[in-house]
Every structure is written in C-alpha cells, then in structure tokens.
Amino acid sequence: EGFENGKITVNKLQNDKQDDEKKYMELKQKYDSFDQKYKDQNDNFEELIRQRDEQIVALKQKCDDFEELKQKHEKYKEQIGDLENLKQKSEQQLKEKTSQIKSLKQKNKELEEAASTYQSASEELKR
C-alpha cells in the first residue's frame, strides 16, 4: 500500500511537473508574444516620433516662409501705395499740362486771328 502510494505520488509529481512545464511553455509563448508586440509598438512609436520631428521641421519652415511672404506682402502694399500716389500726381500733372495746351491753343488762335486782322489791315493800307 505504501509502495503504491509512493508510485502514485511519483506519478502525480511527474504529471504535475509535465503540467507545470506545459504551463511554463504557454506562459513563455505569451511572454515572447507580448515582448515582440512591445518591441513592434516601440518601433512604431519611434517611427511616429521621427515623423513628428520631420513634421515639426517642415512646419517651422512653413512658418518662416509665411513670415517672409508677409514681409514681402507689406513691402508690395507700400510700393502699391507709392505707385498710387505717383499715379495721382501724374494724372494731376496731365490735367495741368492739358489745360496749359488748351490755353496755348486758344492764345495761338487769338494771335493767328490778330495776325490775320493785321495782315488784312496791312494789305488795305498798301492799296
């Protein structure tokens, strides 16, 4: 009876050992699987960080480009204002010159009429 109990105990211990080894292998597989997932996620995380850093650099460049464009825009607005003032001055000068031309044409017409009258009178006197 004691021998059988010892046999049962040895068999039970062997079965327990096999069960424990089986559980150990299952847990090791789960651990290895989780470890690989962790490594993959860490790689993905590192890639996301790299992409984010690239995006930050690109955004900083876009901000710099935007600031440069804003400065150019302000400069162009000033130039447009200067050109608008120049245009108004030119238009005013054109009006003044046009008025002077009309005045000179009128004086020229009056002088031609006076010359014609003088010439007619001069011819009358010669006769």
Structure tokens at 9: 């105990």
User: pLDDT (tens digit, 9 = 90+) per residue, 30-74?
Assistant: 999 999 999 999 999 999 999 999 999 999 999 999 999 999 999
Q: CA 96, CA 102: separation in Å to the nearest integer?
A: 10
Write the CA distances from 107 to 85, 99, 111, 122, integer angstroms. Answer: 33, 12, 6, 22
User: pLDDT (tens digit, 9 = 90+) per residue, 88-97?
Assistant: 999 999 999 9
What confidence category does residue 1 fall into, taking pLDDT thresholds of 50, 70 and 90?
very low
